[in-house]
Amino acid sequence: MIRKVRSKNTGFTMVELMVVLVILGIISVGAITSITGQNKVYHSEEDIIDMQMNARVAMQRICSTIRMAGYGCKDAFGPNLSSGNLVTNGDVAPNPLTNLLLISDNDSPTPDELTLAGAIKHVGTITAVPATNQITLDELRANIKSNGDVAAKSFIFVSPRESNIYQTVTGITGNTLTLLNPLTAAIDDEVYQVQAFTLRLTNNNLRVDDNVDTSSTNLEAASNIQDLQFQYGIDSDNDGEVNSWVDNTATLRQIKAVKIFILACTSKTDKEYTDRKTYTIAGITVGPFNDHFHRQLLESTIYIRNLNL
């Protein structure tokens, strides 16, 4: 008998191979599409988180600076802001010697600017009192200058335990400050510098400019801020309450609060998103922009307590 032996080394047919390749291709395309979509969503959400963080940082820096407006300036501008160059139209350089507030108002989308003076910089702690008109600090934590400096960074605000004393620095030797007038000071009293700072937007970056002169120290506090607007709550009938909100006022002593509007945007476009929203900024409606940037509008109100001392 002739026994037929069937070979076990049979292979796939061409049709079977083609079916397998098609299935693998479909699976691969689906996987790549899913990964690409997730990657886009990840980067989009990352940009949105960065935008929100920038907006919060900008708002926090603006609020903390505005809260210090007028602090330590009573001796320079008088009780109830009765003396001094309280507000101007912005034609002169901001200077804590002459200006407490400078308001530059613009309608959205042109950003506003606000310059204010206050005892904002912590300079150091008193460690010795060599003379009645001298104090020695533990260290100079800020770049302070004497009253001969054109940047007008000459005022020092000393905050003792019982009273606040406003002084002018006439000389600096090491960590020892010579003052224009005698001063009753004690060890461990804190010293602050009165300076003017301008809150402004430059190329969508929030800047806190120190005295806004050629030698100033400029700090970029946050990026990707599209618009910055201020409104001022005024007490027109002197009852202690805000009666109305205005974009500008020549009666500085009526200001009780500042309302801040920040419009932040993402740094990159999202092709899957179109911004069709409208935003109300200081009474002005802007948008829809119909572009591919995400935006967020933040609003905050700061009541300032140091302008009406």
Residue spans per domain, the chain: 52-303
The pLDDT of residue 246:
92
Task: Share the mean pLDDT of the chain.
Answer: 79
The pLDDT of residue 92:
54
Q: Kindly tell me if the per-residue pLDDT of 146 is higher than 90.
A: no
Of all residues in the chain, the percent with pLDDT exceeding 70 is 73
- Please give the residue that has the higher pLDDT: either 182 or 308: 182
Q: Kindly tell me if the per-residue pLDDT of 38 is higher than 60.
A: yes
- Please give the residue that has the higher pLDDT: either 121 or 289: 289
CA 92 to centroid of chain Cα atoms: 23
Q: Kindly tell me if the per-residue pLDDT of 305 is higher than 60.
A: yes
Model's pTM, two decimal places? 0.74
Minimum mean pLDDT range among 25-39, 184-198, 267-281? 25-39
CA distances from 207 to 120, 124, 212, 226 (A): 16, 25, 11, 13
The pLDDT of residue 145:
57
